[in-house]
Structure 1
């Protein structure tokens, strides 16, 4: 990349010098120099416009804008970065889907919230045990859905060495054991186990 950059700079300087010499041949080197700089500035602004348009919506086309010289290398490099990003994104999405599929197969309720307690994701068992609704509860604070004061105190305490036992807010006959773990940027992973038989 560094070698290509040096070569492109030499070509640009050579072009400007060449235009200046042609202007000198016709008796006006300043005009030749000015013309060369103006043409290069026009070309650069045109490539910047194409780059700006592509960066605004890179997924609209699989290929980056085509060009030559320095701008051709820049477009190629950015296109490779974009393709690498898409590949990484697809791999991460596949891993997330596998985790969610395996979590959905669990009998325990699993809930993910941010640091405030805003609901981000939960599995089917959490819907059954806690009464969450996928259509309306996303983004809601979990304290507003599990209104047991002990749960809010437990959530805010950040001391999760021991689990909390409460009744299900949706099915009071179900006794739950709640365990919270911290991850990411102070986000919460909440696991709710049905311990009704053990409790009885």
Structure 2
């Protein structure tokens, strides 16, 4: 008849069951060994006498004790420097102990490997963030930072690890913020010509995270927007003031026909100026807001330049000598945008070249790219102004610009059109000797045509 194992008693916890099993594993072999040695010692005493039996029993116990001490020594040695990852060969209860210790050690190695992998992935992820991340201990010593934080704050992890963060960043605003203990709001401060936004976040009792964000470009964009609104308001206020002044004068007094015609002519000029300014502002705003690339339609440059040169001659009124040399090379892109850019270059040359001057326009292909060059022998531009010519509303001579009816947005439009068409603008000029504006397009931007 098969006996069924009744299992643990009802109400017994798993821990109690495991403890009883472990106790049995220890006491049962120990009692068996003690009983076996006692029997053998009694047999030896019966043969050789009581003294011999007692001596045998004592030596046997000493041998067992030595084996236990040797096993303990092997455990200590194996745990310190495990040989080849394999546990020593033992017997009895020590084999179970070594097996359990090996399982614990292997689990610890797996946990360490998982932790190392997780830490490596965490650092890799932090390294890809555009914002800076700095980890400091409870007293602000640097423990780790990602490349963005190194760029923002001028840190070097290999050099600065373990150093006090407030000693590495000497900005008074930053030091006061780190020592204040109030981190609810981020702190903006200037550091190495950059405006950095920082905020400290506590995430452990002994560690804190400092998050950094470079807002320099945002500040520049905000400044550009403010300047754009201020300049646009100023440019619109001048013609509106003229028109309103003439209207008030016309309503408040009588005038002869000659005066009335002259004032109407001036008001019409100011109205046209506002119309050009608003049109250029809308064009520039549209170019800046476009996300999708320009179309890849083929734009016939030769007929386009022929027409624009005729318009430039009409604008000049015969006061300038305008020549055109053009090769039959086409571009891929947006026809209206390219027309706007080329027209601005030609009209600027006419407006800023004194009467009797010469303007040479050329379009062609060389070994590297296709390029349009507009050169004049006009007043020229001083070197300190060249880098700012494409800024909105930037004028070298404001008085002359208003006299020539310029809006101050032409070269800004040219710059944005070229950015969308992968073009490049080069300006060479010498004050008093003329200027040369050259726009170049890569070979990939050319449109092949089968005649």
Tell me, yes or no, whether TM beats 0.5.
yes
- CA contact 1:24–1:32 (8 Å) conserved in 2: no
Q: How does 1:12-27 map to 2 (within 5 A)?
A: 12-27=30-45
**Residue 188 of structure 1: which of 208, 215, 219 is its match?**
208
Residues in 2 aligned to 1:164 and 1:113: alpha-carbon distance in whole angstroms: 17
- CA contact 1:15–1:36 (8 Å) conserved in 2: no
RMSD: 1.9
**Residue 150 of structure 1: which of 158, 170, 173 is its match?**
173
Q: Does 1:90 align with 2:113?
A: yes
Give secondary structure in 2 for the equivalent of 1:26.
Answer: helix
**Residue matched to 1:10:** 28
**Residue 61 of structure 2: which of 16, 21, 37 is its match?**
37
Structure 1 residue 119 displacement after superposition: 1.1
Structure 1 residue 189 displacement after superposition: 0.6
Larger Rg: 2
Structure 1 residue 166 displacement after superposition: 1.4
Structure 1 residue 5 displacement after superposition: 4.4
**Residue matched to 2:143:** 120
Residues in 1 aligned to 2:139 and 2:81: alpha-carbon distance in whole angstroms: 33
Give secondary structure in 2 for the equivalent of 1:159.
Answer: coil
Give aligned pairs, total: 196
Structure 1 residue 66 displacement after superposition: 2.5
Residues in 1 aligned to 2:125 and 2:44: alpha-carbon distance in whole angstroms: 78
**Residue matched to 1:72:** 95
- CA contact 1:108–1:126 (8 Å) conserved in 2: yes
Q: Which runs of 5+ in 1 are unaligned?
A: none
Structure 1 residue 68 displacement after superposition: 1.6
Give secondary structure in 2 for the equivalent of 1:14.
Answer: helix
- CA contact 1:127–1:133 (8 Å) conserved in 2: yes
Q: Which runs of 5+ in 2 are unaligned?
A: 1-17, 221-451
Structure 1 residue 174 displacement after superposition: 0.2
Instruction: Summarize deviations over 1:135-170 as a string: whole Å, max 9, x none.
Output: 2111111111011233233223332110111122xx
Instruction: Summarize deviations over 1:38-91 as a string: whole Å, max 9, x none.
Output: 111100110111111122234x53122231211111111111111111111211
**Residue matched to 2:190:** 167
Q: Residues 111 and 21 of structure 1: is their aligned pair in 2 closer, same or farther, counting only changes over 3 Å? A: same
Residues in 2 aligned to 1:64 and 1:117: alpha-carbon distance in whole angstroms: 44
Determine which structure has greater relative contact order: mean sequence separation of CA pairs < 8 Å that are 6+ residues apart, divided by chain length.
1
- CA contact 1:19–1:35 (8 Å) conserved in 2: no
Structure 1 residue 116 displacement after superposition: 1.3
Residues in 1 aligned to 2:176 and 2:140: alpha-carbon distance in whole angstroms: 12
Give secondary structure in 2 for the equivalent of 1:136.
Answer: helix
Calculate the TM-score normalised by the size of structure 2: 0.41
Give secondary structure in 1 for the equivalent of 2:76.
Answer: helix
Q: Does 1:57 align with 2:78?
A: no
Residues in 2 aligned to 1:86 and 1:73: alpha-carbon distance in whole angstroms: 20
